[in-house]
Amino acid sequence: MENQQQQQPADNRIKDPKDWKTGDEPMTGAQESYLETL
């Protein structure tokens, strides 16, 4: 019997640092939602 793990789809909250946004780019939906809760 093989032990296989299925990878979960990438969560939009977890990003590779090379994909991080800079101040020149619009905020993501997750960022906007978080700011609305503050």
* Cα pseudo-dihedral 31, 33, 35, 38, rounded to 10: -140
Per-residue pLDDT of the chain (38 residues; tens, 9 = 90+): 555 566 666 566 787 888 876 778 888 899 999 999 98
The pLDDT assigned to 25 comes to: 82
Strands (E), 1-38: none
pTM above 0.85, yes or no: no
Measured CA to CA, the distance from residue 2 to residue 18 in angstroms comes to 34
Distance CA 38, CA 26 (A): 19
Tell me if 35 sits within 8 A of 17, measured CB to CB: no
